[in-house]
Amino acid sequence: MTNEGESQTETWVESKGAKYPFAYDPGGKLQKELGVGGIPAAFLVDPSGKIVWEGHPGNLNASVIDKHIEGALTRPIYSWDGSAKKVKQAFLKNDFAKAFDAAAKLAEDDAFGVEVEGILRGILDGRMASYAGALERGDILSAYEGYKGLAKGVKGLPEEDTIKAALKTISKDKGMKAAMKGQEKLAELGATELRRHKDCDEVLAQLEKLLKSHPEGFVNVAIQAKIADVRKTRGKLQR
């Protein structure tokens, strides 16, 4: 029942006196990825991009914030100008190698550059750890896409070899390739619009089939979760 447009949202935000930045999550994509069930829901993300807390916003404790605010940028990226702008431009293009170079130059005559170098290191370490974790969990697609997205931007950095090796392993391992294919199929089925029982039944049949080809592991669990999800949707739909 989305008949409330942007103008209503802006009026609502204004009436609440909220000064926070706000935005729209198109198609509820992020919400789905984060598994948000009830509203309101909140996530605290640390300076390296890692989720460090989740829950009802009213339950967020000041000590959690104190613990994670240390090391956060004193000047947000969007406000960077002058020499820092070069770091920003490289970072926003995912080019860490260039961003590190620009930060090192900045650090020569501005202490802020040292802070920026530290933050970039934290972000890159965080991403690398997250892809390694995904690989370990069997979430091959996330690992593959993550590494692939970073590959061009780490030329000459120690991460370059790690990423090359990981991508090689994934492309040579039959099991991993099969898992990734299953994940891609699952994503495709997950994007199907479910309007009637018939749509659900068709997707369910394909999911059951897919489940048979992935009898265990991360992909199996993900397919089972999707099956439960589609069944739930089916229950809510009219014939």
Partner 1 sequence: MMRNLFLAGALSLVLSSIANADKVGQQLPPVVLEGLSQTQAESYEEFTGRLVLIEFFAYW
Near partner 1 in 55-94, by CB under 8 A? 55-65, 68-69, 72-73, 76-79, 88, 91-92
- Is 39 an interacting residue with respect to partner 1 (CB under 8 A)? yes
DSSP secondary-structure letter at 100? H
Binding residues among 123-162 for partner 1 as defined by CB under 8 A: 123, 126-127, 129-130, 133
**What mask of x and - would describe binding to partner 1 in positions 192 to 221, judged by CB under 8 A?**
------------------------------
Task: Determine the size of the site formed for partner 1 (CB under 8 A).
Answer: 71
- Is 187 an interacting residue with respect to partner 1 (CB under 8 A)? no
Closest CA to 222 of 211, 212, 232: 211
Min CB(205)–partner 1 separation in Å: 29
Among 12, 168, 192, 213, binds partner 1 (CB under 8 A): 12
**What is the spatial distance between Cα 226 and Cα 220, in angstroms, rounded to a whole number?**
10
Amino acid identity, residue 156?
G
CB nearer partner 1, residue 10 or residue 201: 10
Cis peptide preceding 40, ω within 30 of 0: yes
**What is the spatial distance between Cα 32 and Cα 27, in angstroms, rounded to a whole number?**
9
- Is 47 an interacting residue with respect to partner 1 (CB under 8 A)? yes
C-alpha dist (Å) from residue 214 to 5, 27, 171, 172, 174: 42, 28, 18, 19, 13
Among 30, 114, 225, 228, binds partner 1 (CB under 8 A): 30
**What is the spatial distance between Cα 85 and Cα 76, in angstroms, rounded to a whole number?**
12
